[in-house]
Amino acid sequence: MVACDYSKSNYGMSYSSSEELASVKLFRCYSDALLTFASLCCVLFMVMGILGNLTTIIALARCRKVRNATAIFIINLHISDVIFGSLVLPMTAITFWKKQWTHGWIMCGVYAYWKFTLNAVSIFTVLAITINRYIIVCHPLWYPRIYKRRNITMKLILIWMLALVLFLPSYFGAWGRFDLEPNGGFCTMIQDENGNSPKKFFMCIAFVGPYLTIAICYARIWWVVKKTASKVRGQNPRPIRPTHLPLTHTQSETSTDGKTLISFDPASPANSTTDDDKTPPSSANTTPCDHKTFDKYFKAPFRLTRKEIRPKAPTSRDKRLFAMIAAILLSYSLTHLPLMVTRFVYKEYKSEPYANVFAHLLGYLGTCINPIVYVLMSNEYRHAYRSLFEVIINKLWKQQYAITRK
């Protein structure tokens, strides 16, 4: 396979007008069939991603059965994917198709800035989901203090502010800059006039650091779950601190040693071991999924008792939830790591066509793969989708019936 080499004079050039950008011929050694395939894939990912992510946002927002902190972070993840599919993918598809940057000088910086920012938002959100599960399992007594509504709102604001501020110096050319990179084919982060580039620093802050944190959290979760399960199987008579908290309401009490304890109440209607399984009681006038706001998302009254009992091992629902979150992390890694690797391997003014194109396509595939993960791995989320589709079908049927009556 022949590599497509570019002269060093093309790399790192500064383009000051839209006409100069449009005059640069991109993907010179790439076959037309490969670029046409890449352009069509971008269009397909854009349509699937926007529709799938919007459907997931609406389904999770209106379904009471899955209202919890994890759902809020997942909705935030899908919001970033919708913006990516609406802003980045159309310009990418056109660039693949026309083999030149035709969107103007201003949009070159905007395109690169939002591409990096939205990727950072995604990985920060996955990190927030992982930390949420870690605290539930490993530090359950902290959970009600950390995951109040106000705190969750602040976490979401922090995720977006950190991602937005992180790449502002490069946008204004203070540390690296966003400009067209002919060997890569797109506007991206390159060296500034002094030869400085913050790419490695951003890789550590926005990717390597979060990945290491996620790996440590999941290792700790696995260890705690395994330890709890082994104690339950062994019927250890010594009371141990619970790892999961069902939430019901009663008055505060303290243990014999003066410490406030939170434990599982066998009489509680909650039979799950995580916050994700807490479903509001149903009645004749309520349904699992409705159009009410998130008023009761994070109200968490607790069953406080004198008696501390042995926690139950994670249920099958808990295990499916952990598996789903792990699948989200794995899909993100498989779709984004190849692009990072190719950027380092082919950084010396050359580009391998197939490696470059397919690494980009894998990254774009990540914008539409998460809804598929939810459908395959979560019964609760499948119920949310099904409820939404039933509402839509019923409305369409009623409209059609009204038209035929007229």
Q: For the whole prediction, is pTM greater than 0.85? A: no
Of 262 and 195, the structure prediction assigns the larger pLDDT to 195
Q: What's the rounded mean pLDDT across residues 384-388?
A: 87
- The answer, yes or no, to whether residue 42 has pLDDT greater than 50, is yes
The pairing of strands 350-351 and 186-190 is: unpaired
Highest mean pLDDT pick, 120-129, 236-245, 265-274: 120-129
The Cα angle at residue 21 between residues 15 and 25, in degrees rounded to 5: 125
- The answer, yes or no, to whether residue 103 has pLDDT greater than 70, is yes
Tokens read off for 309: 């009992």
Residue matched to tokens 């059965």: 65
Q: What's the rounded mean pLDDT across residues 17-26?
A: 88
- The answer, yes or no, to whether residue 399 has pLDDT greater than 50, is yes
pLDDT above 70: percentage of residues in the chain? 72
Question: Which has the minimum average pLDDT: 69-78, 87-96, 260-269, 273-282?
Answer: 260-269
Q: What's the rounded mean pLDDT across residues 222-226?
A: 80
- The answer, yes or no, to whether residue 245 has pLDDT greater than 80, is no
What confidence tier does 261 reach under pLDDT thresholds 50, 70, 90? very low
Question: Which has the minimum average pLDDT: 207-221, 224-238, 254-268?
Answer: 254-268
What is 4-227+318-405's CATH number?
1.20.1070.10
- The answer, yes or no, to whether residue 107 has pLDDT greater than 80, is yes
Taking the C-alpha atoms of residue 312 and residue 54, their distance in angstroms, rounded to an integer, is: 36
Average model confidence (pLDDT) across the chain? 75
Nearest by Cα to 317 from 260, 380, 361: 380
What confidence tier does 97 reach under pLDDT thresholds 50, 70, 90? very high
| CB-CB neighbours of 58 under 10 Å | 17
Q: What is the pLDDT of residue 201?
A: 81
What confidence tier does 113 reach under pLDDT thresholds 50, 70, 90? very high
Q: What is the pLDDT of residue 316?
A: 67
Q: Are 241 and 137 in contact (CB under 8 A)?
A: no
SS3 180: strand
- The answer, yes or no, to whether residue 96 has pLDDT greater than 80, is yes
- Strand extents, DSSP E, 183-282: 186-190
Taking the C-alpha atoms of residue 371 and residue 346, their distance in angstroms, rounded to an integer, is: 32
Q: Which residues contact 375 (CB under 8 A, 6 or more apart)?
A: 381, 382, 385
Q: What's the rounded mean pLDDT across residues 162-175?
A: 89
Q: What is the pLDDT of residue 72?
A: 92
Taking the C-alpha atoms of residue 313 and residue 273, their distance in angstroms, rounded to an integer, is: 8
What angle in degrees, to the nearest 10, is found between the helix axes of 316-345 and 353-377?
170
Q: What is the pLDDT of residue 196?
A: 78
Highest mean pLDDT pick, 87-91, 123-127, 389-393: 87-91
What confidence tier does 203 reach under pLDDT thresholds 50, 70, 90? confident
Taking the C-alpha atoms of residue 367 and residue 119, their distance in angstroms, rounded to an integer, is: 10
What confidence tier does 372 reach under pLDDT thresholds 50, 70, 90? confident
pLDDT single digits (tens) 322-364: 777 777 777 777 777 777 776 666 554 455 788 888 888 988 9
Give how far Cα 393 sits from Cα of 59, 61, 186, 399, 406, Å.
14, 19, 42, 10, 20
Residue matched to tokens 């790449």: 167
Highest mean pLDDT pick, 35-44, 171-180, 388-397: 35-44
